[in-house]
Chain A
């Protein structure tokens, strides 16, 4: 059975891989995320059959008059434990997939390059494993087999070895000890700063799109770094740090001052996430409306002078809404033409999510 289950899981993974674009556009996975695994709803995999198509009336049992609902909902529906009934139908299976694996599917589907952590020199830390050998060391680390081998070689070379009486006595020179072999390891911590415009014009659908994007971005970056922190900022005319739940559900109204979020992001970087220690990924999502052109200028200055030098890449995702003008993306595109550290993408509906993700993560920065 273990083999059949394993094979089934492979089949399911194949199915998820095939349908990844569909999952990319749906909020089904978001919030189904455990520590290491995501549960993915997969429609039951059925073999084709000759089946009846027309929705024919079946036979039921229960009280009610002609014309009443047949499932007894209006009548006296009774629950209770069922028998060993066989229910055919379209079961939804929940397949558990490791985040790591989901990320690699995403990587394959969108052809994402692996990220090269920035500033390798500064960020290197020495790790190491006990794989080395040296001739001096404490007795507690003595490598018995190596020591014996040296002694054996020496005894044979000296012609003292007697197979009938194989006594081998190690001397000081034979001693070998385990040693830690230093191995440079890129220290790879990263922080994502998700900033979202929650002003009145961002509706439910817009937030859903942001949420789905954020999920996939987190999933991918998590697979690229040993440790990943995520910070959520929401802003209208002022910005504040919130927890994940609030980030996705808060609805504020009022004006929009994007610079407030960028300033808060900069504060965070200066206080907690120093560029020497972290790969930093700010993402900003809005519908493209800003309070004033002056504030936009302020944003451009902030990004150019303060943020870009400190971060791996700055991403701006513009979600189309009924009210938004979409001006902010145009302003950014003009101000940073040719600068590949800043990526902008616009998403008009859910099907555009995949392309936006590819734009953001496709540079491997």
Chain B
């Protein structure tokens, strides 16, 4: 079912035709609700991650300013915005032409199908509108009680820890829960989101620190560990949980940018050229489609890369519906990209920029290209940081380990991160990493940063980070 209370009858007809075409093509989705918005409102909703209500934070204001400037100066424009939700919510921009609206609608059904069928989205909460509402209200209560400054400081800290999550965690937990349900174990048929909500409720109400931190180790989900075990006040724990829940909701979108956009682009081009377009719109469509899927020189456009990968997969006789159901960006590229694709798409690896010269084409070797691409996508493009040890005794410290893959960390910022973690954990925080081949141990103790060569244990000159 498709609906659009704010759509003109003509656009609603277009939406119905797009839905019919999408269904006939084999796409399946939740109900889709189209909303018509002005460009300014679209920017605001986009800044809030697709939701009309979020808690208050300056970062949303910054994002809005960025989008609004881009729009005002004609540099960028948001065509559409689709929200992973049941029903799927899609925003149309009033200033778009009729052809553009048709294109966007077809594109939306591609995303809607992806949200519904991709395994990576299965664990996500589909009633997030309510949840975000609730979060906004809870955070506002904290602001009223403890002041804007304290809440804002905490939010900023929590948000900077957002990437310290396990991208595969939600799916693993979901599968485990399903497995238990099949065996008829404890949680029964409760979905992950229901259980998550229950545990969130418990923690917020009781707001107690969980005991037995060891039980949760080792973990990549440092943020969740801190939600459970950080030495903070109840309202602070609540804020941490809220940030964690929202980040978990957005996590699959970060991992499926290429495959999701590729899938939607595949279907918008297929549905439009398969009958939705009026003959008079073909040239405008071609222009618009090639604009969205063009590769800027030297860069990768996720729309184009994803679309090309799907087309290549079809040529190789692969089942694209199965691909979209099981893969994220990393495994998708790993599965589909081969030497022929790398050559056909003119992919290359760049050499890092040297002094006085921009980046250069380093190699076109398909294996190197594939490895470089996989590495840049792996783990959501973030360094892998694992929490490996916690001591809770007289000295309450924690040890993080950076899984060094040849790429060093920016140590000054890493130092800032340790400070942030320490301020929540309230005990010394260590980070084991490497600089090139040399092992390093970065420690933050009461706001002071130290760095040692890990092997010798000799103190080095004070860390760069200060």
Chain A residues packing against B (C-beta within 8 Å):
1, 3-11, 44-45, 47-73, 75-78, 80-85, 91, 93-94
Cβ contacts under 8 Å, A62 to chain B: 295, 297-298, 346, 348
Cβ contacts under 8 Å, B65 to chain A: 5, 8, 93
> Is B219 positioned at the interface, with any CB of A under 8 Å from its CB?
no
Nearest A residue to B163 via CB reads A49
A61-B300, A71-B298, A85-B303 known; 17 new pairs, CB 8 Å cut-off, are A1-B47, A8-B61, A8-B65, A11-B62, A49-B160, A49-B163, A50-B409, A54-B352, A54-B408, A60-B350, A61-B346, A66-B348, A70-B360, A75-B297, A82-B75, A82-B294, A84-B77
In whole angstroms, how far apart are the Cα atoms of A188 and B232 in the complex? Answer: 56
Q: Are B364's CB and A66's CB within 8 A?
A: yes
Q: Are B297's CB and A66's CB within 8 A?
A: no
Nearest A residue to B68 via CB reads A5
Q: Are A59's CB and B376's CB within 8 A?
A: yes
Quote the shortest CB–CB distance from A226 to chain B (angstroms). Answer: 32
In whole angstroms, how far apart are the Cα atoms of A66 and B79 in the complex? Answer: 36
Quote the shortest CB–CB distance from B460 to chain A (angstroms). Answer: 17
Q: What would be 23 A-B contacts, judged by CB atoms less than 8 Å apart?
A: A4-B59, A4-B61, A9-B61, A47-B156, A49-B160, A50-B417, A52-B408, A56-B352, A57-B372, A58-B300, A58-B359, A60-B298, A60-B347, A61-B299, A64-B361, A67-B360, A69-B358, A70-B359, A72-B298, A73-B297, A82-B291, A85-B76, A93-B62
Nearest B residue to A55 via CB reads B352
Nearest B residue to A67 via CB reads B360
Cβ contacts under 8 Å, A93 to chain B: 62, 65-66, 69
Of A52, A82, A91, the contact of B410 (CB 8 Å cutoff): A52
Quote the shortest CB–CB distance from B119 to chain A (angstroms). Answer: 24
Binary per-residue interface labels of chain B (288-321) against chain A in the complex, 1 for a CB within 8 Å, 0 otherwise: 0001111111111111110000000000000000
> Is B12 positioned at the interface, with any CB of A under 8 Å from its CB?
no
> Is B27 positioned at the interface, with any CB of A under 8 Å from its CB?
no
Q: Are A1's CB and B60's CB within 8 A?
A: yes
Quote the shortest CB–CB distance from A91 to chain B (angstroms). Answer: 6
Quote the shortest CB–CB distance from B316 to chain A (angstroms). Answer: 20
Q: Are A48's CB and B291's CB within 8 A?
A: no
Cβ contacts under 8 Å, A67 to chain B: 360-361
Q: Are B300's CB and A60's CB within 8 A?
A: yes
In whole angstroms, how far apart are the Cα atoms of A269 and B84 in the complex? Answer: 71
Chain A CB within 10 Å, residue with most, of B358, B359, B361: B361
Cβ contacts under 8 Å, B44 to chain A: 1
Q: Are B76's CB and A58's CB within 8 A?
A: no
Q: Are A85's CB and B301's CB within 8 A?
A: yes
In whole angstroms, how far apart are the Cα atoms of A9 and B62 in the complex? Answer: 8
Of A48, A57, A76, A91, the contact of B416 (CB 8 Å cutoff): A48
Q: Are B294's CB and A83's CB within 8 A?
A: yes
Nearest A residue to B383 via CB reads A50
Cβ contacts under 8 Å, B47 to chain A: 1, 4
Quote the shortest CB–CB distance from A252 to chain B (angstroms). Answer: 36
Q: A69-B360, A70-B348, A70-B361 are in contact. Are A61 and B295 (CB under 8 A)?
A: yes
In whole angstroms, how far apart are the Cα atoms of A65 and B303 in the complex? Answer: 25
Q: Are A83's CB and B293's CB within 8 A?
A: yes
In whole angstroms, how far apart are the Cα atoms of A93 and B65 in the complex? Answer: 8
Q: Are A10's CB and B58's CB within 8 A?
A: yes
Chain B residues packing against A (C-beta within 8 Å):
44, 47-48, 56-62, 64-66, 69, 75-80, 156, 159-160, 163-164, 291-305, 345-353, 357-364, 369, 372-373, 375-376, 382-383, 385, 402, 406-411, 413-414, 416-417, 420
Count of A-B residue pairs with CB < 8 Å: 204
Q: Are B57's CB and A48's CB within 8 A?
A: no
Q: Are B362's CB and A50's CB within 8 A?
A: no
Q: Are A3's CB and B348's CB within 8 A?
A: no
In whole angstroms, how far apart are the Cα atoms of A68 and B297 in the complex? Answer: 12
Cβ contacts under 8 Å, A73 to chain B: 297, 358
Q: Are A53's CB and B408's CB within 8 A?
A: yes
Of A1, A55, A82, the contact of B296 (CB 8 Å cutoff): A82
Nearest B residue to A3 via CB reads B56
Q: Are B408's CB and A70's CB within 8 A?
A: no
Q: Are B361's CB and A84's CB within 8 A?
A: no
Chain B CB within 10 Å, residue with most, of A1, A66, A85: A1
Please provide the 10 A-B residue pairs with the shortest distance between their CB atoms, ordered closest to farther. Answer: A72-B297, A8-B61, A4-B61, A48-B416, A83-B292, A53-B410, A55-B352, A47-B160, A5-B61, A71-B298
Chain A CB within 10 Å, residue with most, of B60, B61, B66, B376: B61
In whole angstroms, how far apart are the Cα atoms of A55 and B302 in the complex? Answer: 21
Of A50, A63, A91, the contact of B413 (CB 8 Å cutoff): A50
Cβ contacts under 8 Å, A47 to chain B: 59, 156, 159-160
Q: Are A61's CB and B358's CB within 8 A?
A: no
Q: Are B297's CB and A77's CB within 8 A?
A: yes
Nearest A residue to B369 via CB reads A59
In whole angstroms, how far apart are the Cα atoms of A66 and B349 in the complex? Answer: 9
Q: Are B58's CB and A4's CB within 8 A?
A: yes
Q: Are B58's CB and A63's CB within 8 A?
A: no
Q: A61-B299, A70-B350 are in contact. Are A56 and B66 (CB under 8 A)?
A: no
In whole angstroms, how far apart are the Cα atoms of A49 and B408 in the complex? Answer: 14
Q: Are A59's CB and B361's CB within 8 A?
A: no
Nearest B residue to A59 via CB reads B373
Quote the shortest CB–CB distance from A64 to chain B (angstroms). Answer: 5
Cβ contacts under 8 Å, A76 to chain B: 297
Q: A1-B44, A71-B297 are in contact. Are A83 and B160 (CB under 8 A)?
A: no
Cβ contacts under 8 Å, A52 to chain B: 383, 407-410
Cβ contacts under 8 Å, A82 to chain B: 75-76, 291, 294, 296
In whole angstroms, how far apart are the Cα atoms of A351 and B261 in the complex? Answer: 50
Cβ contacts under 8 Å, A11 to chain B: 58, 62
Q: Are B60's CB and A4's CB within 8 A?
A: yes
Q: Are A70's CB and B293's CB within 8 A?
A: no
Nearest B residue to A65 via CB reads B361
Q: A57-B349, A80-B294 are in contact. Are A50 and B414 (CB under 8 A)?
A: yes
